[in-house]
Structure 1
């Protein structure tokens, strides 16, 4: 996909393009790639989007969604690692500390809402924010120190939705509570844990496949996913889809 023109990208992602209209401004979004080691394999959590969704219908994706700026005010057990926050602040549209915090916390919130997995530490937690009441009820204080910034991608113009998405990773050991019935929303169905190689062959968006390939390379170089790793950034520049490094 790297170096492809916008027309080439439109042909690949047929279901996502729209016919004309003013290009939407991308909105902040965050995704969490939750990993687990199963024997020699690293497996990843994915879920299928409902067929009726306007954006990526029927595709397997990671939990994630739009960032709520109010998430920046949610108390946490530990902040983002300084190197991760520095990476989030780099590149076009530099993220302030508050914006970076909101983006990271939205990945944790969406993982709870869509998959019923609460990332953080078992400890009393209080907030009046409705979207975080699951953490209050289950006694989990969200924590950001486990998150690693893996990749960034901006949806090309002329799509039903446009997002400036930051992809984070965390390990299943960072999950404080797993709800057997899943999350409170119906955004994802058929949640599955797949080996990385198998996940790349699933019915996934092209950008998701590219992110998985980048993650495999990083894991090969750094199996512990230590803070401060290089972050690939995918976007359309002068009508060509390019890969940059933050």
Structure 2
């Protein structure tokens, strides 16, 4: 046997002896072994456990999409596009006193003001709910249905304080939408808006969002008690 081989055997023997003495020394000190340490930690110091929170199981994206499609298909036929027209003849914008003699034939041409908005049918015989600002001061109101039929509407009543108005068209058998109860809605619920946000180019648009808050006062609207 070579000298180098004998040296490696001596070194291995010393390492083995040191390992055995190390285990014996650790047992005399009461140090736990690896398995004992894990068991002792689990029994003597329980880990802090966060309270369990129950989260409602969300439906699949396809189910949510199908629900949106169903609501849109049901509501769009009862939504209308409203055009309003007001002719400003300038009767209250006369020339300053004394200038009429210099410009006797000067007359301000009538200005035609156009407006548009959304509404929804609330009765089969043609009553439609809309906003007051859509029809306020209008000389002519035209309603276009989802099936592209058009009617001249009559303003039945308005309430500027709540920005609500009712108009009427001469039609029968129209699809309708029922009133909901806003008190039963909850913040965080989905909501769909169907209407004509930016004129005829975006007529019968459907958008989705969530109810972000309830009971807020809207700027520009007078509130009544």
TM-score (norm 2): 0.29
- From the two aligned structures, give the one with the greater strand fraction: 1
Q: Which has the larger radius of gyration?
A: 2
TM-score, normalised relative to structure 1: 0.28
Greater RCO, 1 or 2 (C-alpha within 8 Å, sep 6+): 1
